[in-house]
Structure 1
Amino acid sequence: MESIEIARLCAKYADDKKAENIMLLDLRGLSPVTDFFVIATASSNPQLRAVRDEIVEQLREEHGEKPLFSDGTYESQWLIVNFPNVLVHILSPEKREYYALEELWGDAPKLDWNDTAPIADPTPRAPKKKPAKKTAAKKTAKKAPAKKAAKKAAKKSK
């Protein structure tokens, strides 16, 4: 399953549990850590748990996708679920405003998570370089024996 599909499904499942202000950021080419962020707001600790559980359970049951790890506590009001190349952030309104992930990653394009069209990878690909031709190295004459001979001759003439 493509990471964009996982990201869109995470957003959909968050929406199913009434998460608010769901945002999908395309970080390809901007972050070495992940390709997509899904950011959602949950208004209470029970909703934080419900959104996280819905995402994890539905992706496991419906699509056979398991998270690599899940982190955060309800007291921290910020839960993270990490799927391959997709990081899901579920935050309280206060934490979301304070950390402002969408502003921090302001260079990242915001995607419509309801769209089902495939998204082209915006990462520019460098053209493959042809190996450089090997040029014959110039052979240089060894100067050391000539210097030694000159020094020897200078000593003899003294």
Structure 2
Amino acid sequence: MTEADELLRLVRVAAAAADDKKADETLIVDVGDVFAVSDYFVITSGSNPRQVHAIADAVEDEVKKSGGPGPVRVEGLDQREWVLMDYGAFVVHVFHREQRDFYQLERLWGDRPRVDWEPLNPRSESA
């Protein structure tokens, strides 16, 4: 597996970990060609501060379980409105829904390609 493939695998693990905690509208944005610091953004949100914290914890745990590093830096965990988890080559943004609506990162990076990913535990249609 190449370094680029391994990076993309870890980014997908982060997205799936957020989804596993019932995060809303999780997406991966490829910013590598236009953003010098990171290659990917994972953008997701929770409906309340407790869920935002749980999502951030799950992302960190699953990335580590998958052989990835811990984040280089985490900001906003105490406030639980916008948690930024900097892994170097990728950044995870976990928003409280209101903050996500306000900052609209998807709109800012709207012209960038999205990356497909699969849930860790697919939800049934009846759930």
Q: Normalization by structure 1: what TM-score?
A: 0.68
- Which structure 2 segments of 5+ residues have no match? 120-127
- Residue 71, structure 1, aligned to residue 75, structure 2: yes
| Partner Cα distance (1:70, 1:91) in 2 | 13
- Which structure 1 segments of 5+ residues have no match? 116-158
Quote the offset at 1:63 in angstroms: 1.5
The one-character-per-residue Cα deviations of 1:16-64 (angstroms, maximum 9, x if unpaired) are 1110100100011111121000000101111011000011112223324
Contact 2:28 2:115 in 1 (8 A): yes
Contact 2:10 2:68 in 1 (8 A): no
| Partner Cα distance (1:103, 1:64) in 2 | 29
**Which residue of 2 is the match for residue 60 of structure 1?**
64
Deviates more, 1:1-10 or 1:34-43: 1-10
User: Which 4+ stretches in 1 moved above 3 angstroms?
Assistant: none
Deviates more, 1:106-115 or 1:53-62: 106-115
| Partner Cα distance (1:34, 1:84) in 2 | 6
Work out the percentage of aligned pairs sharing the same amino acid: 32
**Which residue of 1 is the match for residue 34 of structure 2?**
30
Query: Of the two, which has the highest radius of gyration?
Result: 1
Q: Normalization by structure 2: what TM-score?
A: 0.83
Quote the offset at 1:12 in angstroms: 0.4
**Which residue of 1 is the match for residue 55 of structure 2?**
51
**Which residue of 2 is the match for residue 105 of structure 1?**
109
The one-character-per-residue Cα deviations of 1:68-87 (angstroms, maximum 9, x if unpaired) are 11111443600011113110
| SS of alignment partner, residue 108 of structure 1 | coil
How many residues get paired?
A: 115
| SS of alignment partner, residue 8 of structure 2 | helix
Q: 2:21 aligns with which of 2, 8, 17?
A: 17
Tell me which protein shows more strand as a share of its residues: 2
**Which residue of 2 is the match for residue 127 of structure 1?**
none
Quote the offset at 1:114 in angstroms: 2.1
Q: 1:96 aligns with which of 100, 113, 117?
A: 100
